[in-house]
Amino acid sequence: MSIVVTGATGNLGRLVIEGLVEKVPADQITAVVRGEEKAAGLAARGVKIAIADYNAPETFVGLFSAGDKVLLISGNEFDKGRVGQHKVVLAAARQAGVALLAYTSALGSLTSSLADDHRDTEAAILESGLPYVLLRNGWYSENYTGQLAPVLQYGAVTQAAGQGRIASAARADYAAAAVAVLTGEGHQNKIYELSGDTAWSFAEYAAELSRQTGREIGYNAISAEDYTAMLSGAGVPEPLAAILAGVEVAIEKGELAGTSGDLSRLAGRPTTPIADSIAVALKNSAAS
C-alpha cells in the first residue's frame, strides 16, 4: 500500500510530500511527476517516483495498486480539458481498486467559471464509486503575496473585488489538511470546505503591506473588465484572465469569505494569518 500524490513537484504537491515524509516511511509514498529532473530531491529522500502525464492515459496504467490512497491534485492546464485529464486518473484508480481518492476541488460556494471543472470532476468521482474525500480548497494567500513586485513598484493593490472579503490560507495549511486525510482515518466519503480562519479585504491587505514596508500602498478597485484587460496586457492568456476576473467578482459577492473551520481542524492548528504570509513574501523578495 502506498500513498500516491499526483502533481507532486507542483507548489502544493511538494508541500504535501514534505508533510507525508514526516508522518510515514518515505518508501510508502509515491510521487507522480512528469519528469525525473524535478523529482530528484524527493527521490533522494527515499520517496518512490512514478513518471506519468495527465495527457497520456497509458502512463497511468498499472500505476496504482489495490489499497493505495491517492491524492489527485487538480491540473492547471485550463486549455487542455482538465476534467478529461482527471478522468484518466480516476479510471486507473478504479481499475486498481484504491482504498481512497482525495481530490483538491474548489469551495462549494464558488459560482465562477473556475469551479466548473471541479464540479464536473466531483461528479465523475461520485459516479466512479470510489471511496473519496473532496478537499474543497479556498484561495491561496500566495496568489497575492507571490505577486508583490508590481504592487511595490506602483504603490497600489489593484483588484476587481470591491469591498469583498476573502478567507485565504497559506498553501502549507492546505497541504497539512491533505496530509491529515491521507494518513488518518474516518475521512471516507467526506466533503471539507477549506478556508482560512479570518477573512480580510484588499483595503486591509494594502494597509498591512503599508505597515510592513513603511510605504504608502493603497487599494485601487477596478472593474472586472479592466482587470481582465490588465492581466491580458501583462501576458496572461485571455481565457485565463477572464477566469481570474470571475474569481474577483465572486470575492466581491462574498463567495470566498466563509470560515468553516474545517481547515484548521484538519491541520491541527490555526491557519496562517495573511500578515504572516506577507512577511514571508517580503523576506523572500529581499533575499532574492
Residue 147 sits in the same domain as residue 97: no
Tell me the per-residue pLDDT of 126-141, one tens digit each, with 9 for 90 and over: 999 999 999 999 999 9
Instruction: Report how far apart the first and last C-alpha atoms of the chain are (Å, whole number).
Output: 41
Determine the pLDDT at residue 195.
98
Q: What dihedral angle (degrees, nearest 10) is formed by the CA atoms of 93, 48, 134, 164?
A: -140
Domain containing 121 equals 3-137
Domain containing residue 38: CATH number: 3.40.50.720
Element holding 180 (H helix, E strand): helix 171-183
Instruction: Judge whether 177 lies within some domain.
Output: no
Cβ–Cβ < 8 Å for 16, 175: yes
Tell me the C-alpha to C-alpha distance, in Å, between residue 163 and each of 56, 64, 88, 138, 160: 43, 46, 40, 18, 9
Instruction: Judge whether 145 lies within some domain.
Output: yes
Judged against a pLDDT cut of 80, whether residue 203 lies above it is answered with yes
Judged against a pLDDT cut of 70, whether residue 288 lies above it is answered with no
Picking from 50, 13, 224, 246, the residue whose alpha carbon sits closest to that of residue 137 is 13
What is this structure's pTM?
A: 0.96
Q: Determine the Cα–Cα distance for residues 135 and 108; give it in Å rounded to an integer.
A: 10
Determine the pLDDT at residue 285.
83
pLDDT band of residue 159 (cuts 50, 70, 90) is: very high
Residue 120 sits in the same domain as residue 209: no
Residue 232 sits in the same domain as residue 203: yes
Determine the pLDDT at residue 81.
81
Picking from 181, 199, 179, the residue whose alpha carbon sits closest to that of residue 252 is 199
Provide the domain count of the chain.
2
Tell me the per-residue pLDDT of 72-129, one tens digit each, with 9 for 90 and over: 999 877 666 889 999 999 999 999 999 999 999 999 999 998 899 999 999 999 999 9
Instruction: Judge whether 185 lies within some domain.
Output: no
Instruction: Judge whether 277 lies within some domain.
Output: yes
Tell me the C-alpha to C-alpha distance, in Å, between residue 234 and each of 52, 143, 148, 227: 32, 16, 14, 11
pLDDT band of residue 211 (cuts 50, 70, 90) is: very high
Residue 13 sits in the same domain as residue 133: yes
Q: Cell 532574492 belongs to which residue?
A: 288
Residue 94 sits in the same domain as residue 206: no
The residue-averaged pLDDT of 213-227 equals: 97
